[in-house]
Structure 1
Amino acid sequence: MTNELHPYQDRKKLKWNGFYLSEHTSQLAAEKKERRYTWPAKPTMTTEEIGQLLTEARIKDQSVALQKEEMDAEGHYPPDVIGKIQGYDELGIYIAGEKIHYDEIRSVALHKTKKWSALD
């Protein structure tokens, strides 16, 4: 008479599904909230003001927040392009791997990145 116990069978990923689901749903909710947010129109700057700020950012190696002069089908502005100036030519500048023509720029501001260690 042999009385064998059943060996333990690991459920593998099945036991972690609850964690994936809650993280995934919170990420989806955050993305939905971001899509729903409408970026306000910033005041249109003159070419000279834009040039001065871009020059200052390039010299001081600072990041800029740039609003493009474009709207989506619903009449909303896209999020600002944020980053350091990676390069430039006579037609535009390169920020965050994207070339933006000078005539597409609506507004520019120096952008201060918050440190991860800064507490609010």
Structure 2
Amino acid sequence: MAYDDESAKQLFMEAKRVYEDRGMLKWMSGFFLSDHTAAMKKDKTERAKVNEQKTQMYTHEITQVLEHARLKSRPVAIQLEQLDVEGHYLDDITGMIRGYDELGIYIDDQKVDYDEIRHVELYDWKKWSKLK
């Protein structure tokens, strides 16, 4: 007996309505549960991470560090004078100085205004081969 697309679809839907595979349903719910648990753990660790407040630097100190980093082609880590909704400092902006103007500097693809900088320091890249 040959089936066309429509009759095959009807046969499949009838079989699906009559036959319920609990084993497959249990397996799928366990699979989704483990993914959900992993996502919850990741979210919890991200929320527990708190960036500490670094010392406020003077303008001339910030300028010296930025100039040194630019001349020596060294990456920098910049803490901004911004807080998140929970009152914690944002993650540091890290990267190479790609350019600057009278209002700020360009770190990789992001512009940072000079008046937003709270703290700046030279940054040492961690090699993936040295991580534990």
When normalised by structure 2's length, the TM-score is: 0.68
Structure 1 residues 1-120: aligned runs within 5 Å:
18=31, 22=34, 25-26=37-38, 28-118=40-130, 120=132
SS in 1 for 2:77: strand
> Share of identical aligned residues, percent?
49
Q: Runs of 5+ in structure 1 lacking a partner?
A: 1-13
CA RMSD of aligned residues (A): 2.4
Q: Which amino acid aligns with 1:78?
A: L
Which amino acid in the other structure matches residue 98 of structure 2? Answer: Q
Task: Give the 3 Å change call, closer, same or farther, for CA 71–26 of structure 1 in structure 2.
Answer: same
Separation (CA, whole Å) in 2 of partners of 1:26 and 1:96? 32
Quick one: distance in 2 between partners of 1:65 and 1:28? 29
Q: Comparing both structures, which one devotes a greater share of its residues to strand? A: 1
Matched position secondary structure for 1:117: helix
CA distance in 2, matches of 1:62, 1:27: 35
- Rg larger in 1 or in 2? 2
- After TM superposition, which residue ranges in structure 1, 4 or more long, deviate above 4 angstroms? 20-25
- CA deviations 1:72-114 (Å, max 9, x no partner) are 2321111111111111110001113111100000000111011
- Whole-Å separation in 2 of the counterparts to 1:30 and 1:22: 12
Aligned partners of 2:94, 2:84: CA distance in 1, in Å? 19
Number of aligned residue pairs: give it.
106
The alpha-carbon distance between structure 1 residues 106 and 24, as it changes in their structure 2 partners (threshold 3 A), is same
Q: Judging changes above 3 Å, is the alpha-carbon distance between structure 1 residues 25 and 86 closer, same or farther for their aligned structure 2 residues?
A: farther
Aligned to 1:4: none
Give unmatched runs, 5+ long, in structure 2: 1-26
Q: CA deviation at 1:25?
A: 4.5
Offset of residue 27 of structure 1: 5.1
